Amino acid sequence: MVIIMLGAPGAGKGTQAERICAGYSLPHISTGDIFRANIKGGTELGKEAKSYMDRGELVPDELTVRILKDRVSQDDCASGYVLDGFPRTIPQAEALEAMLKEQGVSADHAIDVEVPDENIVRRMGGRRSCQNCGAIYHVEYAKPAKEGICDKCGGTLVIRDDDKDETVRNRLKVYHEQTQPLIDFYKGRGILKEVDGTQDPDKVFEDIRAILG
C-alpha cells in the first residue's frame, strides 16, 4: 500500500504519517528527514538542500527525486510505504507516477490534512527542535520536562530557521502556488481524501483509519 500525505507545512501530516506507519507496519518516507540527515552529516547533498530549506523554498525536483528513488528501492519498502513531504509539485507527482509504474504499482491513497494558514503560523512558531537528535517539541502542545532541554538526549532546544514566522509565511506562499495544485491532480486520479487537521490528533487519525480501512 502506497500512501501519499498532503497538506501545508505544519499541518500535522508528519505526525499522522508516523501513526499510519505504526498502525499498518509501513516505513515512513520523509524527504525532510532524509535531507536533515544529510545536512547533519555535512554531505554535499545536505549543503545544497539546506540552502533552499533555510529560505523556506522547495528543494529542486531533480535533487528530491534522486534521493527518493534510492530510498524506496530498499527492502523495507517492498510492501509499500507512506510518503511524507513528497510529491510537492506536479512534476514530482508525475515523476512518482512514472517510478511506481516501472515497479508495477500505483498510489492507493492521497490524504490531504487541511489546516488554515493562521493556525499553522501559530503552531510552527511554537515548535522547538533538539540541536543534537532532532526531536520535536512544542511550547503549547508537547512541552519538554525541562524548558529548553531535550527529554531524549539532554540537547539544547532551538527554533529552526524554517519555523520562524517570516519563513513559515514564505513556505505557505510557496505551498499555495506550487503544491496545492496536487489536490486537483490526485482528485483527478480518484484517490484524494481530505481530513480536518484542526481536530485533536487522535480524531484526525481516527478519520484516516476510516479511509484506509
* pLDDT tens-digit readout, 82-122: 999 889 889 999 999 988 998 888 999 999 999 999 999 98
What would the grid cell of residue 197 be?
487537521
For residue 178, give its domain range: 2-116+162-212
Mean pLDDT computed over 24-30:
93
Query: Could you tell me how many residues make up the chain?
Result: 213
pLDDT at residue 211 is higher than 90: yes
Q: Is residue 137 part of a domain?
A: no
Q: Is residue 145 part of a domain?
A: no
CATH code at position 81: 3.40.50.300
Q: Is residue 179 part of a domain?
A: yes
Give the total number of structural domains in the chain: 1
| pLDDT tens, residue by residue, 122-169 | 888 898 999 999 899 999 888 999 999 999 999 999 998 888 888 999
Residues 6+ apart with CB under 8 A from 196: 114, 204, 207
pLDDT at residue 187 is higher than 80: yes
Predicted pLDDT at 2? 96
Q: Is residue 75 part of a domain?
A: yes
Q: Is residue 180 part of a domain?
A: yes
Average pLDDT, the chain: 90
Residue 194, SS3?
strand
Active site residue 164: no
Predicted pLDDT at 68? 81
Active site residue 13: yes
Active site residue 122: no
Active site residue 127: yes
What is the percent of the chain where pLDDT is above 70? 100
Catalytic residue among 19, 50, 71, 88: 88
Catalytic residue among 36, 71, 127, 128: 127
Active site residue 88: yes
Q: Is residue 134 part of a domain?
A: no
Q: Is residue 33 part of a domain?
A: yes
Predicted pLDDT at 61? 83
Q: pTM of the prediction?
A: 0.76
Identify the CA nearest to 184 among candidates 57, 62, 89. Answer: 89
Mean pLDDT computed over 165-177:
90
Distance separating alpha carbons of residues 23 and 160, to the nearest angstrom: 29
Catalytic residue among 13, 19, 36, 50: 13
Q: Is residue 63 part of a domain?
A: yes
pLDDT at residue 52 is higher than 90: no
Predicted pLDDT at 161? 86
In the chain, the N- to C-terminal Cα span, in Å, equals 12
Catalytic residue among 40, 55, 122, 160: 160
